[in-house]
Structures are given as structure tokens and as C-alpha cells.
Structure 1
Amino acid sequence: MDFPINIEANIVSHNGNFSRNITLQGGLTIIIGPNGSGKTHLLRSLKQPLAPVMNGKKVRFLSAGRLGLLEEYRSDYDGHRSGFPNYENASFGRKSDVSRRHQMETLNGDFQTLSERADILIKVQERLRKLFKRDLIIEWDGGSLKVVFARLDITSTPYSSGREASGLLHLVGILAALYDDEVGAILIDEPEVSLHPQLQSFLLNEITNAAGHPSEGGYKKLVIMATHSTEMLRIAKSNDLASLIFCHDLDKPPVQLDPNNGELKNKKLQTLIARLGQEHKLSLFCKRPLLVEGPSDVMIASFISNKLELHLEAAGSQLLPVIGKGQMPVVTKFMRLIGKEPVVLADADAFTDDLDLIRCFLANSSTADADASKLGAQSAMKLASSTYSDFCSLVNDNWEDISRQAEIHPYYTNAGESIDENVKRRAVFCTLFSLSSSEVNDLTNAEKWSSMKDRLTVVLQLLENSGCFILRKGAIESYYQVSDIYTSEGKPTAAVDEIDHLDQLSAQKVREQLDDLVRCIEYASEGKHINEAESLRDILLSIAAPAVARLSTNDQVTTQDINILAKSILGERANIFNCSVENGKLKIDIESKILNICGFPVIIDKNDDVVRIIERVLLSNA
């Protein structure tokens, strides 16, 4: 059987059973995606359907936790070792395990292979000796397989594998599995575990060398791996994308690209892929990459995410700077091609210069069209096009109405002698959104300008609802309060200075000053805000409600009575609180020193609405 190889896999999971059709375009296939996206489930599901195409060779699965039982010898795993692991007795199984070595999902199977196959041992030993100045000794001791390492660069006695770095143990095991010609397919979950970036690069070379069709002979085999590491991705040309499987959620089919997809022939896309950087690769692992226009935008957006506790990355997003005029639409299309949901934060010129980015988000968008139809428009794109066209005409015909204000905008002043229609449109757009309503009304032809601002606002809202956010003041520098808004050099330095200033402000002030950016980051992070008070709500109510009920029927209730009640309801969780009765009222304070919750102590009278008071405490933590 030649490539491509089509496989129908059945995933059996806690969330149901799913049938998945996977195509292997070549010897190496890589499954990527965020935690919890179903990568391991998919990887494991491929083991059984691969067996029929192996022509008698084995299919091997290596789990991410492949150290397995070896950890018993490398750590105080049960707290009874007094901090002294049992290093010297580290063992990789018994002689009777040899026959099952290809079924094992831990390193035990690979070290069993090294004990049986002297030729594989030689290949591994040579690499250890030359690259890592280590030697490897495999020996049987009383029926147990022992592995001993020796340093070649210094004079020292051999030592147990229990004392060796976990990264080298992982490396030895994976190399043994790769070189095993009895194996026709190997499924590796997180090959990068415990390996530093340079070692990951070496391992990827060895994986690439081993990857191929089993029929090619030697130790060529199908290699399928699930990874979180950008170091395990090597993408040099557009067709390399066909070897990637993008997982986004367990119950959603993974995304694969057909190498014959016409989009992959796009010259701009091919250029982009040829120069994929670390940031681009990182974005391949997330669900909603946030595309921004440069390093300064990354710095400010990252600060906002941290300051407002929006946790962009944890929410499945990744900041990605897109450098180069006209590249934003290209990267947006690329991200959608591989199943991502890109969010864009773009300078105003991405809106005023042409309709390319607008089309990316509004053309053929059923959601945007539904929003536009409520406004009486035939489609979102038609609404945006007519607004854009009328805006260009208004600027061209009525430049003098607003030129005095527009000519002090950085878009205009930084243009020098190169003033053209694009520069004027950029400056006018940003000026309109910088002027107050009264200032717009003071312009000549105020009705036209006011109407245009309203129409532009509608289009910008349609774009934001679709994930495209335009910086209405211009570029990121136009929002600076202390740094130079006209800066064109040393932008990252100016961003650092601005962040120092912003860090002194309250979260509310940051929201007010950087409202356009905040809306975008909230959208990309789906507005998730960690609030420990919300998790405490039901626990707090479970104590407060019955305690107040008891106070309302019995004036003799004591602090001890309330604490006994709390203990009977919550058990050990009651220790979170310090409950007491003071002047006939219930007082609940936080006993825990690690919960970051304000609003305590809570004082509740027997006639109070308990739920309303508890909700007020929660609101103070929002």
C-alpha cells in the first residue's frame, strides 16, 4: 500500500464514541492542538486500524507518561522514603516481559528491546557516546533488567539508570523504538517530554530519518506523534501542512489539509509559510490566534491581558505579530484554512486603505449578514462597501471641513511630503473618532460628518462582532498617554515606558484609556475572568441560609451552635470560614489565607435577605 493511507479510527472516550477519518500523506504525521483537544484519544485510536496495513510488523504506542513504574525508583513517590528514592534498584521489568515488549506503552518495552537486539543497542550507544558522552550497559540481574550509565567525559563509576536525567532516558527509549525494524508504525504521545529545545531538534531529525513507508525496508516506519512543542514542527513549504492534524475539541472532527487544496498554491501564502517564525508556530496550537500589527502591539496587549486578568493564552488564544503591509488578510485566511478562529486587532489604515481585511470578515458571513439585515441592509459586505465608498468621497470632496484637525494626527504629520488620498482618509477617520459629538457638530457640513461617523460605527461594530477590531485612533502609539504618539523609531522602548505608566493606573482607568484594545482582548479570551468568589458562592450560601434560619427561630443560638451546624453541612470545608454570632447577627469571615476574596466579614441579620447579601459580596469581587 502506498501513500496516502486512509484510516478510519474509532475513538472511545468518556464523552462518547466518535468515528474519525484520517489520511496519512507521508511517513510522518503530527497531531497538534491545545490541552484537552483530544490529541491523545485520537492517537490511541489509530493503533488498531493501522495493524492491517503493517504486513506483519508491529504497531507501537508510547504514552506521555512512559517512565511508568520507573518513577518508583526515582522519587519519593509515596512519602515513605524520607526523601531518599530507591535509585539503585531501578528495573525495567522481568525476563518474562520480553515477549510483550511491543505491547508495552512505557520505556520498559524499549529497554527490553535493547536487551534483545544488539544491533539496535549499538545504534543507540554510538549516539550516546558521541553526542552525550555517555555509555549504556544493559544487564540482567536475578531476572530483572537493569540499565547502567557511565560518563565518558570524566572519571567516574557507572551509575544506575535511576540516577540518570529523565530526558536521556526518554531519548534512549524513543530511539530504540525508532530503530526497531520489527515495528511498522509508532505512535508517540509528546515526544518532547523532558527534552530541552536542542535535544528536541536532534530527536526530530532522527524521527524524520526513520519516517517512511514500512515497505521501504530498513527500519522505515509510519510515525504519528502528538505534540505541544514548536521544536517538533518543521514546516518549510505549503505541502508540509498536509502532514499536520489540527485538533480543537474531542467531539469535533480534526482538521486536515488536502495537499491539492488550491489555497496552498497561493503565492502570498507560500511566502508566509516559508518564513514561519516561532510566534506563527505557537499559534498553530491555539484555537483563537490574536493577530496584531507588531511587537509594540504584542507588548501592550499582553500587558492588558495580565492587568485585567483575562488570561489570553490559557483561554486558547495566542498573540501573533503580523509584519508587512497587506499581510493581515493573508494570515487570517491561512489560520482559517487550518481550522482556527482568528481574531484581528488592526491599525486604522487596514480599514481606510482598502476592503481586503473587511472582506475577510464580512463577505459570506451568515452571522454578519444577519446583523446587517436587522439594519435593513442586503448584506454586511454591501453595507460596508457603500459606507466605505461614501467615506472616501466625503474625504475627497470635503477635506477642508476637517483638515485643520486631521493635519495634526500622526498619520498626516509622519507622512512628510508623501501626502496622498490614503493619508488623508487615515487622518480623517481617526480624527472623527477622536472628536466629541459637539466638536463634530462644529465642523462645516456637520450633518454629513456626523452621519458618516454613525455609519462607520455601525460597520466597525459588525466587524467586531465577527472578530475584527480596528484601532479607531490610528496605530497603537496613538493611545499613548506619556510616550511619544508620533514615534516611528524605538517603538518597543516607547511601549515599555507606556506600560510602566499604565501599570500605575487602576484596572478601570486602563479600560477607559484603551477601550478599543480591551474589547478585542476580551473577545479573544472570551471574557473569562477568574473570580474565586463565584466558586465560593454555593458553599457560603449552604452555611449562611440555615444559620440565619436558626437565628430567626431561636434567640439562644451561640457561636458554637453555628460552627457545629457548619461542620455538619460542609465537613472539613467549614474550616474555610470563621463563623460567629455577635449581637444576634451572623458573622462569617474568611479563615483561609490563600483565597483572594474581598467583602468579608459578612454580617447578616436574621431578617436580612441572605441571597441578596451574598450576591453583593460576589459583585464586589467582579
Structure 2
Amino acid sequence: MYTDVGSNFKKNHNMIFPFDININLNQSGITGIQNPTIKIYGGITTFLGPNGAGKTQLLRGLKHSLSAHLNGKKIRYVSAGRLGPMENYRSDYDGQRGQPRFDSATFGDKSATARRHQTETILGDFATLSERADVLIKVQERLRKLFKRDIVVDWDGGNLKIFFSRVDQTTSKNYSSAREASGLLHLAAILASLYDDEVGCLLIDEPEVSLHPQLQSFLLNEIKKVAGSNTDKGKKLIFISTHSTEFIEVNSVTQLASIVFCKDIQESPIQIDPSLGDFQSKKLQALLTRLGQEHKLALFCHTPLLVEGPSDEIICSALSRKLSLNLEAAGSQILPVTGKGQFPVVIKLFRLIGKVPALLADADAITDDLDIIGVFTNLSQATELAAGLGHRDAAKFAKDIYNDFCQIVSTKWDDIKNQAELHYYWINRDKGKDELIAKRRSAFCWLFNTSDEEIQKVSNGAEWLTLKVRLSSLLNFLEKLGCFILRKGTIEAYYQHSATLTVDEKPNAASYEVNGLLEENSEKVKEIYSDIIRAMTFCSNVKEINEAEAIRDLLLAMVSPALASLKKETTDTELKIFSNNLFGAKSSLFTLTKHIDGEDIYLDVNLSTDILEVTGFPIRIKKGANPIEVVNNSLKLK
């Protein structure tokens, strides 16, 4: 039995939370997929996932699965495109109207009110306002007091019309609902569904549509007021699919259990089991109570990249923009975690909800202890990778190298003291704490920022170099698991345009660095920030957008037959007609012209648009040459 008063998790004599629901996807027209089962822990159940993950199909499937739990009440599904019917009046929807027909807006006749609970658009909600005076009053009161609007229902010649007026203006007249802001229309419609006590289950696809964050927050509070067992007076089961953090509230394990994580309609959605021992951890429970906006954003992605602080986030975001890594579009999110001690618990949480978190950490994540990298070496995948390297156990592989590193730093510090004590870690060490930690951090950074030749020159150089090789193998191994350690120590050590400042000034330094790196050549940026870029590439796991690749096939398809038929007497007009006959409108992308140099005939190809980001034009191809080779060389493609 799970109890959470804030989320309406309670027991009722006719409905006991949690209970299972098998979602009938076949009834929604989806075949060949096993119907998933989800557990309902309370009044609000939320579906999260990227576009195309199947959230809408799951909501629709619930329409056919919940009748046994509603005690005769209605099921109402509200679509994400609920304002669709109003576009006939709010826009020149087919380019033939001249201007919108605002004042002609109508929303069905009397017969439509009988279908109001089945209607998935705003037409059903406006019909409810016309049929239920009590619901209308509740909506009106909130619009008047909070938004200085009044909503008026009118029947004109048997057609339903909705008007608004401004209550803060004494001379305000009624105006057509088609002239009202989209956000207020969405809000009025959803509130009507929420307050309708004939509805025992409400399914809302993307409640955040057109609502600014404050309106979203208000709507969530209204949702929470009516969410619960539908056998309780004024309560209903509510299911939402959302892309907004404003509709996510995770202050407890039971609230987290009410989130259904979707990846693909072909795969079963993921829910946590709040009774698992992992969720009894005080650290994890404490993390949930302070789950901030950034952490909530990571709930929407597949592979969050955890970093140590705002400076790391600033640099990573800039690199993503500079190099077009498209982290967010690829299902990742840069997530700063305050204090490296929080990494293990945050990683555990994200894994429990089906995410694959990656980590970008300072060198102290591997020099101080094995707590953080242990979260990766305990993965089953780690055992397989370690076996491929000839190690029986991943954790022992890491521990042996770590212990040997600690041993050499402890016993042979004097070998490298003069060089290592120049490092940031040593200069800014906490002199009131164990100096051995500072020595390990500085030694690690000295190893990875000193050439092998220079390492050989110090006392016991061969031993130090062997250790560097072994540490490198461990770091490469960890990167395959998603754990990336900054070989230079901290993010600031990579800066080229900003000095390392004090702790309080770190975000400022990162901002200055961003201004510089955005102006740098991309190849230089890749070289300087290679350690960080590897982590981001791991998370993005998508191919680089290259518009040259997108046009290559069409380009070759055009030039190959043009070259075959090209003669000295061929005119540019003939080339244009030839291309247009073969490729129609697509041929307008390129301009083909003939060029003669002595006895040699060439085809010149130019790009006819400024929209595509492609370099290498114009391209000159000699008749008889290999067009594939010439085009690839010009566009710098393999």
C-alpha cells in the first residue's frame, strides 16, 4: 500500500492503488505488438518520452482498457490538436480566404452535445460548458479572477457560439472566441474537462500546448485537485503525455513510480517498482526531494550526460553548438550535478528508470577513490569488455591499476615533485586536508600532460611510463561504458581564451572561453577539447548532418547522363531542358553549363540555392572523367 497525500495516492473501498491496467493497443488500430501492462499508483499517471515514442498510442489504448474501473462514468480523451476545428476561423487555412473568419466561429449544433465526451477536440469542451452551468461557473470564476476574462456561451440559430470579454475594461464588448489567445482557449477547454464530474477518466495529450510556464503550473495544480479515485466525489483518474517539466512533480518515490517512460511503441514502457530496496536508500530519497528543473529535464532524454558544475555545462553546450553535435535532438541532456559525491546516486536513479547515463568528471573521480568508477565497472557490460582485454573481473582490473597508482605516488613522489607541484590541483589544494590526495591528482595530470619522452627522463621513468600506459587502458575501457575522465584534470585546464579564475568566477571564465572557442576553426576545437567531445559524441550517437551528402546522389544522377550526351555543339539551354525533362523541379537545384578548353569539353555545375550549406561549387567535370571521383573530391566526401 502506497500513501502520498500530495499526489492523491490513497485507498478507496472500490478502488485500491496500485492496480494493473493492460493497455489495448489492438483496439487503437496497432497490430503485431504485445499489449503492455502498466501499474496505476495514484490519481495522476504521466507518460514521458521523445517524439515518436508511442505516448499518444498508449493514451488512446487506455480508452479501450479502463471501462471496468470507471463505475459507469465517462472516459474522455483530449487530443494535442484540440484547437484544430478553430483554425477554420483563426487562420487562412487554405490560402483562399483572404483573411480569417473570426466572427463566424461556431462549435456544433444541439445534436453534437450528446457526443461531447467522445469528441476529442475543443468542440466537446465547449459543448460541456453549454450543458453544464456548474462547470461553466467554475471556469468563468477562474478566468475572471486570474486572467481578467469572461467566457459567454450562446446559441445562435441552433449553432453554439463562444464569446469572451475583458472584465478589467468597463466598456469591453463580447468578442468571438476565435480572436482569443490560444493559451486561454486551451486552458478553458482543459478546465471544462477537469471539472466535469461525469468524466471518471481524463486522458490529456500534451496539456502544455500554447501555455507559458506559469499557466502550466496553474493547470497542474488544478489537475492535482481533482486527481484520485473516480469513486470519490469530484475525483477522476488522469493520464497525461507531456514534454514539459512543469507537469512533472517528483518529490517522492511514489510520484516517480507514477511516471511511465516510453522509448518506442515496439518496446514495453518502463516504470519503477517503489518497493525495491534501492528506493529505500536515504540518499536517493533525498535526491528526489530536491529534484530541480535540470534534473527533471533529464527525465525526458535517453542518455543524460552528467557533469560536475555550471562551467562544464557552459563549455559542453557551446561545443555542441559549434560542432553541430545535436545532443538534445539525439536524446541527451547535459546535467550538472553539484558535488562529485552525488554522481553514484544520480547514476543509479537514472538507470532504475531505464536511462543510460554517461559521466564527464574531473580527474579526482579516479584519483581519490573507486566509488564513482565502481558504478560503471559493476555493469554486466563491463565484465564482457574486461574479458575481451584478458581480465577476469572489471572491478579487479580497475582496483589493481588504482592501487599501483596510489603506491607509486606515495613512495616515489620526489621523482616528479618539481613538475607536479606546478599543477592547479597542487597550487589550490586544501592545505588543511590530506596532502596525499593532492599528490595523486597532480601526478595523474602530470602523466597525461607530459610526453612519453619527458616522463622517461625522470627518476624511475620507465615505471611511471608503464603506469601511464596502464591508466590509459583503464580510461579507454571506462569510456566504452560511458565514463569519461578529464585527462587534464578540470574543465578549466582546457581553456585557450580565458585564465583559470577563482571558484566563484568559474562560470564567468567559462563564458569568456565560449566567446573564444566559437570563433576558432572547428578542427582546432576538436583537437583542444577532444576529451570532452568524445563524451558528447558517445551521448549523441548520431551521424553528423551533412547536406553535401544529401545532394550528392541527385547531383551525380544529373551530371552522369549530361556528360554522356555532352558535345561541342550542345547549348546551355539544351542542358537545362535535358535536366528538367529527367528530374523536373529538382533540376532547379543546379545550373549546368558547357565549358570548352581547346579540344577538351567540360560540364560546369553550380548550386542554384543559398539555403543549403554546401561548399565546393562550382564543380568542373571533364567529359570522360569519373564524375563520382570529381564530385566526391569537390564536396570533400568519401
Alignment TM class, shorter chain as reference: over 0.9
Question: Map of 1:65-80 to 2, 5 A cutoff?
Answer: 65-80=81-96
Partner in structure 1 of residue 219 of structure 2: 203
Partner in structure 2 of residue 278 of structure 1: 293
* Secondary structure, counterpart of 2:458 in structure 1: coil
Match of 2:321 among 288, 299, 306: 306
1:371 maps to a residue whose letter is L
Partners of 2:299 and 2:634 in 1: how far apart?
40
Partner in structure 2 of residue 617 of structure 1: 634
Match of 2:283 among 255, 268, 291: 268
Question: Map of 1:43-192 to 2, 5 A cutoff?
Answer: 43-82=59-98, 84-155=99-170, 156-192=172-208
Q: What whole-Å deviation, never above 9, does each CA across 1:333-372 have from its counterpart, x for those lacking one? A: 1111111111111000011111112121121332x33332
Match of 1:346 among 361, 371, 374: 361
Partner in structure 2 of residue 316 of structure 1: 331
Partner in structure 1 of residue 255 of structure 2: 240
Partners of 1:395 and 1:89 in 2: how far apart?
82
Deviation at 1:117, TM superposition (A): 0.9
Partners of 1:618 and 1:381 in 2: how far apart?
47
Point out the more displaced range, 413-422 or 7-16.
7-16
TM-score, length of structure 2 as denominator length: 0.94
Task: Tell me whether 1:596 sits opposite 2:613 in the alignment.
Answer: yes
2:206 maps to a residue whose letter is E
Q: Contact conserved, 1:315 with 1:528, CA < 8 A, in 2?
A: no
Point out the more displaced range, 476-485 or 112-121.
476-485
Partner in structure 2 of residue 380 of structure 1: 394
1:271 maps to a residue whose letter is A
Partner in structure 2 of residue 389 of structure 1: 403
TM-score, length of structure 1 as denominator length: 0.96
2:80 maps to a residue whose letter is A
Match of 1:23 among 39, 44, 48: 39
Task: Tell me whether 1:251 sits opposite 2:266 in the alignment.
Answer: yes
Q: Judging changes above 3 Å, is the alpha-carbon distance between structure 1 residues 601 and 14 closer, same or farther for their aligned structure 2 residues?
A: farther
Q: What whole-Å deviation, never above 9, does each CA across 1:547-579 have from its counterpart, x for those lacking one? A: 22223xx55433233222211221101000001
Partners of 2:155 and 2:231 in 1: how far apart?
34
Q: Contact conserved, 2:23 with 2:35, CA < 8 A, in 1?
A: yes
Partners of 1:537 and 1:501 in 2: how far apart?
34
Deviation at 1:397, TM superposition (A): 1.3
Deviation at 1:416, TM superposition (A): 4.6
Q: Contact conserved, 2:78 with 2:205, CA < 8 A, in 1?
A: yes
Match of 1:576 among 575, 585, 589: 589
Partner in structure 1 of residue 230 of structure 2: 214
Deviation at 1:381, TM superposition (A): 2.2
Deviation at 1:294, TM superposition (A): 0.4
1:436 maps to a residue whose letter is S
Q: Contact conserved, 1:371 with 1:462, CA < 8 A, in 2?
A: yes
Partners of 2:495 and 2:434 in 1: how far apart?
24
Q: Judging changes above 3 Å, is the alpha-carbon distance between structure 1 residues 71 and 542 closer, same or farther for their aligned structure 2 residues?
A: same
2:604 maps to a residue whose letter is K
* Secondary structure, counterpart of 1:49 in structure 2: coil
Q: Contact conserved, 1:392 with 1:425, CA < 8 A, in 2?
A: yes
Partners of 2:124 and 2:501 in 1: how far apart?
63
Partners of 1:564 and 1:381 in 2: how far apart?
68
Partners of 1:325 and 1:287 in 2: how far apart?
21
Deviation at 1:192, TM superposition (A): 0.9
Partners of 2:164 and 2:560 in 1: how far apart?
64
Q: Contact conserved, 1:312 with 1:318, CA < 8 A, in 2?
A: yes
1:242 maps to a residue whose letter is A
Partners of 1:582 and 1:481 in 2: how far apart?
48
1:203 maps to a residue whose letter is L
Deviation at 1:96, TM superposition (A): 1.2
Which ranges of structure 1 fall in alignment gaps of 5 or more residues?
Answer: none
Q: Contact conserved, 1:39 with 1:247, CA < 8 A, in 2?
A: yes
Partner in structure 1 of residue 471 of structure 2: 456
Q: Contact conserved, 1:522 with 1:528, CA < 8 A, in 2?
A: no
Deviation at 1:110, TM superposition (A): 0.8
Partners of 1:373 and 1:517 in 2: how far apart?
27
Partner in structure 1 of residue 12 of structure 2: none
Q: Contact conserved, 2:261 with 2:271, CA < 8 A, in 1?
A: yes
Task: Tell me whether 1:522 sits opposite 2:537 in the alignment.
Answer: yes
Task: Tell me whether 1:361 sits opposite 2:351 in the alignment.
Answer: no
Task: Tell me whether 1:2 sits opposite 2:19 in the alignment.
Answer: no
* Secondary structure, counterpart of 1:214 in structure 2: coil
Which ranges of structure 2 fall in alignment gaps of 5 or more residues?
Answer: 1-14
Deviation at 1:15, TM superposition (A): 8.6
1:44 maps to a residue whose letter is R
1:97 maps to a residue whose letter is A
Partner in structure 1 of residue 513 of structure 2: 498
Partner in structure 2 of residue 290 of structure 1: 305
Partners of 1:326 and 1:610 in 2: how far apart?
58
Partners of 1:499 and 1:342 in 2: how far apart?
25
Q: What whole-Å deviation, never above 9, does each CA across 1:506-532 have from its counterpart, x for those lacking one? A: 011111111111111111111532111
1:408 maps to a residue whose letter is L
Deviation at 1:541, TM superposition (A): 1.4
Q: Contact conserved, 1:414 with 1:486, CA < 8 A, in 2?
A: no
Q: Judging changes above 3 Å, is the alpha-carbon distance between structure 1 residues 240 and 611 closer, same or farther for their aligned structure 2 residues?
A: same
Deviation at 1:81, TM superposition (A): 2.3
Aligned residues: 616
Partners of 1:17 and 1:377 in 2: how far apart?
41
* Secondary structure, counterpart of 2:33 in structure 1: strand
Q: Contact conserved, 2:41 with 2:254, CA < 8 A, in 1?
A: no
* Secondary structure, counterpart of 1:178 in structure 2: helix
Partners of 1:428 and 1:572 in 2: how far apart?
64
CA RMSD of aligned residues (A): 1.6
Q: Judging changes above 3 Å, is the alpha-carbon distance between structure 1 residues 385 and 486 closer, same or farther for their aligned structure 2 residues?
A: farther
Partners of 1:604 and 1:525 in 2: how far apart?
37
Q: Contact conserved, 1:348 with 1:471, CA < 8 A, in 2?
A: yes
* Secondary structure, counterpart of 2:287 in structure 1: helix
